[in-house]
């Protein structure tokens, strides 16, 4: 079985890629695909290897249907879904029905991810983020990852209505992720990133800001400073 360090490395590479190329994603679903690609690169067995469940291939069959360790939109209980789940191979063996459940109960993933983007817009609330946070806390066996990327797509000058609306959303986003409950939880790792790729297009400084949970501050970083970006991301995953 792989280690948390492998998962962390995939998360870091994912974040670095999104920061470097903010047009890689149109929606949250694109982020899911990119993160899974990074997980495959760091942990090849997630893609290449299949594991036995306890669902027989047929009557009197001695063989079992197989599944992978990683799944999208897996059940989180109470009519919820988890964006990306990674299971322990020993738990996969307990699956005994076609809905990938054990005795009609969803498995608790070893690692789980909830992602979000600016397209949540005005709908992002403390309750929304807290719901994702609690889901990861209660359902994850080893570690949960709450990752939100807010990309400011505007090119509007300051003090325009568009600019003011964006600033209001940014401030709301920042206040939610600065909350004490989120920063104090050890089981769930939180990464919140603000991207402003179209501001001051000749400059790289200030186009990326990452929330530093250890100092409760938002830290501006030059998008070309890969070592500094990696350093602060690693701190968020400790």
- DSSP annotation of 186: S
Distances (CA, A) of 178 to 138, 147, 183, 187, 191: 21, 14, 7, 17, 11
CA dihedral for 135, 139, 145, 149, sign (positive or negative): negative
Output the average pLDDT for the chain.
Answer: 87
What does the angle CA 234 – CA 227 – CA 39 come to, to the nearest 5 degrees?
50
Q: Which ranges of 107-184 does DSSP label H, i.e. alpha helix?
A: 126-139, 161-177, 180-184
Mean pLDDT of 33-41: 98
Distances (CA, A) of 210 to 23, 93, 182: 18, 39, 15
Query: With pLDDT > 90 as the criterion, what percentage of the chain qualifies?
Result: 56
Mean pLDDT of 217-223: 86
CA–CA distance, 57 with 72 (Å, rounded to integer) = 24
Strand partners, 71: 85
| Chain centre distance of CA 206 | 23
CA dihedral for 166, 169, 171, 173, sign (positive or negative): negative
Higher pLDDT, 176 or 220: 220
Give this prediction's pTM: 0.89
CA–CA distance, 34 with 15 (Å, rounded to integer) = 10
With beta carbons less than 8 A apart as the criterion, state whether 219 and 232 touch: yes
Query: With pLDDT > 70 as the criterion, what percentage of the chain qualifies?
Result: 85
CA–CA distance, 149 with 192 (Å, rounded to integer) = 6
Domain ranges of the chain: 4-236
pLDDT bucket at 54, cuts 50 / 70 / 90: very high
With beta carbons less than 8 A apart as the criterion, state whether 190 and 204 touch: no
Query: How many of the other CB atoms lie within 10 Å of CB of 201?
Result: 9
Residue-wise pLDDT tens digits, 185-202: 678 999 999 998 887 665
Q: What is the pLDDT of residue 172?
A: 73
């Amino acid at each position: 079985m792989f280690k948390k360090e492998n998962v962390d490395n995939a998360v870091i590479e994912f974040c670095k890629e999104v920061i470097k190329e903010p047009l890689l994603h149109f929606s949250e679903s694109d982020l899911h695909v990119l993160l899974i690609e990074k997980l495959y690169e760091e942990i090849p067995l997630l893609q290449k290897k299949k594991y036995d469940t306890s669902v027989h291939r047929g009557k009197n069959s001695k063989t079992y249907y197989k599944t992978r360790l990683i799944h999208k939109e897996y059940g989180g209980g109470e009519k919820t879904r988890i964006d990306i789940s990674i299971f322990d191979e020993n738990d996969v063996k307990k699956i005994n029905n076609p809905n990938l459940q054990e005795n009609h109960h969803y498995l608790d993933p070893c690692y789980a991810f909830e992602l979000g983007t600016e397209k949540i817009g005005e709908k992002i609330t403390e309750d929304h983020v807290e719901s994702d946070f609690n889901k990861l806390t209660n359902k994850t066996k080893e570690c949960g990852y709450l990752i939100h990327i807010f990309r400011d797509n505007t090119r509007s000058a300051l003090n325009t209505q568009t600019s003011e609306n964006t600033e209001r959303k940014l401030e709301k986003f920042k206040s939610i992720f600065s909350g004490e409950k989120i920063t104090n939880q050890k089981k769930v790792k939180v990464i919140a990133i603000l991207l402003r790729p179209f501001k001051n297009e000749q400059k790289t400084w200030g186009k990326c800001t990452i929330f530093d949970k250890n100092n409760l501050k938002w830290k501006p970083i030059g998008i070309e400073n890969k070592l500094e970006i990696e350093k602060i991301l690693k701190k968020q995953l400790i």
